[in-house]
Every structure is written in C-alpha cells, then in structure tokens.
Amino acid sequence: MNGAESLVRTLVAGGVDVCFTNPGTSEMHFVAALDRVEGMRCVLGLFEGVVTGAADGYFRMKGSPASTLLHLGPGLANGLANLHNAKKARSGIVNIVGQHATYHIGFNAPLTSDIEGLARPMSDWVRTSPNARAVAADGAAAIAAAKSAPPQIATLILPADTAWNEADGIATVPAETQRPSYSTEAVEKAAKILHAHGPETLVLMTASALTEQGLAFAQRIAGKTGCRVMGQTYHPRMARGAGRFSIDRIPYVIEQALPILKNYKHIVLVEANDPVAFFAYPNKPSQLKAEGTEVHRMTAWGENSVAALEALADHLGAKASDVQPQKLAELIKPTGALNHTSIAQAIACAIPENAIVVDESITTGRGFFPPTAAAKPHDWLQNMGGSIGFSTPVATGAAVACPDRKVMCLVGDGSAMYTIQSLWTQARENLDVVTVVFANRIYQILRGEFDGVGAGEPGQRAQDMLKIDRPTLDFVAMAKGMGVPGRAVTTADEFNKALAEANAEAGPRLIEVQM
C-alpha cells in the first residue's frame, strides 16, 4: 500500500467519502488510489473555485466534511476565494493539495511555490507530509481538525513521492471534539438584561441559532420580553418559510441599518458578530450600533446555541403561549413586467417544500426575504465571506449532500461568470439544481458602491468597468454548451412558467431573467 492509498482509505474510514477534484500530474497516484479504493465518490470540477465552493455547500447541508483534491500552489490559489467564504461560514473541509516530490522542490521547477504560505490565510490547520509513512496519520489529523468544534478548514500537502512510496496502512481518526455547550453565566446575564430592558434589547443571531428549533425558542423569548430578534446580514444556513419564525436581517446599506439599530441600548450576541459595515465609506461609521449600546455575548460560534436559547427561555419563563402571531406577506403569483417585486413574488410562490435556496442575488435579492417568509419550508444559504462566484459551486455541493432535495440557486450575472463551470459538474452528476441568473448587464452593486464612497459621477471609462455588455452574455447558450437545458424569460408570467417547469423536472436547469 502506497501513501496515496493509505490516505484514501483513512479518509473513507474517517467518514470523508466525497472528494471534489481537479487534479494534475503530482496527484496522479492519489487519483489512482481513488480509483482502486471503494467508498469514495469523486466529483470533478473544471475550476478549483467550483471544487472548494462545492465542499463548502456540502458541509453546510451534510454537517460533515468532504475532501478536495487540488493541483499544487496555483490550483490551491484558484480555489482560495471560495475557501475564504467557507472559512467565514465555519465549514469543515479537508483539502488535499499535491506538491512536487520532496527531492524535486529544490530545483525550482515552474510550478514550485510556497504552498503552506498560500494555504495558511484560508486554513485553520496546515501540514506537509514529510514521508509516505506519515501520510495516513496526517490525514487522520486533518479529518479531526475539519470535524472539530467549531469546524475547521484543514489543508494537507502531499508531495508526490510521499504518495507513491510504501506506507504503513490506515490511521485511526482521533475522537471528535465534543461541541462546547454554553456558559450558564452568560445565559443568566442575558436573562437579566432581557427582563429589565426587553424592548430596548436586540438579540442578534446566526449559525446554529437559526435552525427551526433555535428560532422557535427565540420567538418565545421575543414574545415574552418584547425584545427584537434579528440576524446578521448573511448566514451559513437559515431555516425559513411557513411555520417558522421569520426574522429580519441587518441591512447591508449603512443608511438603512443605522435607523434600525439606533434605539437599542443592549445587543445580545448569539454566535453573531458585533454589527459592522462591510466597507469603510467617507463620513460614515464603521460600527452600526448606536453610541453607548452595550454588547453582551451569550454564545460564541460553535457553542450549543439551541440549548442556550432553550435555557434562556426557561430563565425568562417564556412559553409557546407567549408567541406573537407573525404578519407575513401574502403569496401572490405576479403578472406583467419583471421587476424586483415581481421577481421576489414569483420565487416565493415557486420554492418547493424542503428546498435549499442558495442566494447570491446581491442587489436584485435584497427584497427577497419578506415575501419568501411565507413560502413553503426551506433552508436559505448565503455568502458569509463576500467573495463572488460563491453560489453555483455551493449549490452543487448542497445537491451532492442532499440528493432528495431541490436546490434553487439565485445569482447575478456578474457573479455567475466567476464559476459558471459549475453547470458542467451539475450536468455530469445529474444534480437537481435550478439556477436563476438575474441578467441586468451590470455589476449593479458596484454602481451603488461608486456612489456610496462618494467617487463622483462615473464617466464612460468608469461605466465600462461596471457594465457587463458589448457583447451581451448569453447564459442559455452557455448552459446548453455545458449540458444544462435553459431558457430566458422577460415577463413575470414567463418566469412563473419557467420556475414551475424547472421544479417539476429532475436534474439541472437554468433560467435567465432578463431585466
């Protein structure tokens, strides 16, 4: 058994049985081992950003890590943007990155690079195997890191000779780290604050608090104390839809966020971060909370927020009978022109039961939350890191993780072009993903940011750097070229019909919404 086979067998034995791959020469022995060893599903991506993003989506829905296979430093570098997003979402991933043979590195061949240096900013755990007999144990340590609490991105660098030389065998993965519970003192402090200052308190939540159960406890707490419950601007995963507590998110735009937060004298953080602006803008604050607001952390990321919320509800005597009725937007199937409102209504009506919605709709999607609160129960995934090209790979990984659930991917045309290769993987694997591309022919968010930073009125050259035209992108043609049936729509009625037909069919579909 060589080092590569010992690693594959260790991965499978350790519960890592999906590998999103884009290999090269240095990884051929690992590819051969993947071919020989039973139990590993291999999913090819045509760009490393698809590979790393798919591993992120897989973890968000499965709750256990997949592995990636990347080619040397440049292959890892191509995948770093979506590893950044995955790290912000605290997804567990085991990256296997090939390296030149140990004796070859010193010759400075064209593809030689500092792979550890590239890996560290987007990884929590980095190691280079020194020899073949260490590979299995290193792989087991990487799995343990990826499964830790909170989960981590683990990057194991595999020199080619450590893959082909003789190894000892399979290594046992150390016992999983038990998830931290929560601080009873922090819960008691939060209870005192809510009891004394309920209406002046904001409970700000993310991560595990946004499961259906966590939201239910938060709804009781809000009903009992009069506090407001909100989410961060973006989340790794949120339970949404009819029958679930619908909460608003802190708006992305500073001018919209400040009035919402100005009256809260206390903020209780449930895995969330202190609310701050995404960027610095001239003459605008970086912190979104009002001056003098006291911030109290009840749970940190990775702690058992559901149990903490349940304990907080018990401390406050908050019961199911305290829940206040929600006023949700009525589901109305739109007709007529396509605009932000009609698009949101069409999507809300079309979301299937138990669907997974992956949202990178940027400016078009800022109004999606109110109408979709009344849609059929579903999970909503968002981009935690802000690096675009996130949604189509994450949707791909989510579909691999949950083959029995429909995945809806909502993406702007600019973002879609970063990782459009995801469609090919979806076609090859026959993944049940409906990709909706909002084609407004402009990086609309950048047009807004141009104004937001006070850069003046854009001239022709500036506008050319913000628009996506001359030539016009044809997403239906691109989808067809990668094996995905697609259609373009220009009215709300056409959009309704396209969504219904795409949801009724298994396998990947694309809808280009021409705005």
Quote the tokens at residue 354. 């138990």
Per-residue model confidence as pLDDT tens digits over 425-465? 999 999 999 999 999 887 677 778 878 888 888 888 888 78
* CATH code assigned to 340-514: 3.40.50.970
Three-state SS for 23-60 is CCHHHHHHHHHHHHCCCCEEEECCCHHHHHHHHHHHHH
Predicted confidence at residue 33, as pLDDT, reads 97
Nearest one of 500, 393, 455, 308 to 45, comparing CA atoms:
393
pLDDT at 179 over 80: no
- Position 462 scores a pLDDT of 83
User: Of 189-193, 357-361, 448-452, which gets the smallest average pLDDT?
Assistant: 448-452
**Which part of the chain has CATH 3.40.50.1220?**
184-322
Yes or no: is domain 184-322 CATH 3.40.50.1220?
yes
Strands (E), 152-299: 153-159, 201-205, 228-231, 238-240, 248-249, 266-270, 294-299
CA distance 221 to 216: 9
303 pLDDT higher than 90: yes
Q: pLDDT at position 177, please?
A: 67
Tokens for 451, please give them. Answer: 């104004």
* % the chain with pLDDT above 90: 89
Q: Is the dihedral of CA 305, 307, 309, 312 positive or negative?
A: negative
Ranges of CATH 3.40.50.970 domains, the chain: 3-164, 340-514
What fold, for 3-164?
Rossmann fold (3.40.50)
pLDDT tens-digit readout, 466-497 = 888 889 999 999 999 999 999 999 999 999 99
Phi-psi region of 327 (alpha: psi -120 to 50; beta: other; left: phi over 0): beta
What is the CB neighbour count within 10 angstroms for residue 312? Answer: 28
Q: What is the pTM of this model?
A: 0.96
**Among all chains, which residue has been given the structure tokens 């259906």?**
212
Distance between start and end Cα atoms, the chain: 57
Predicted confidence at residue 510, as pLDDT, reads 98
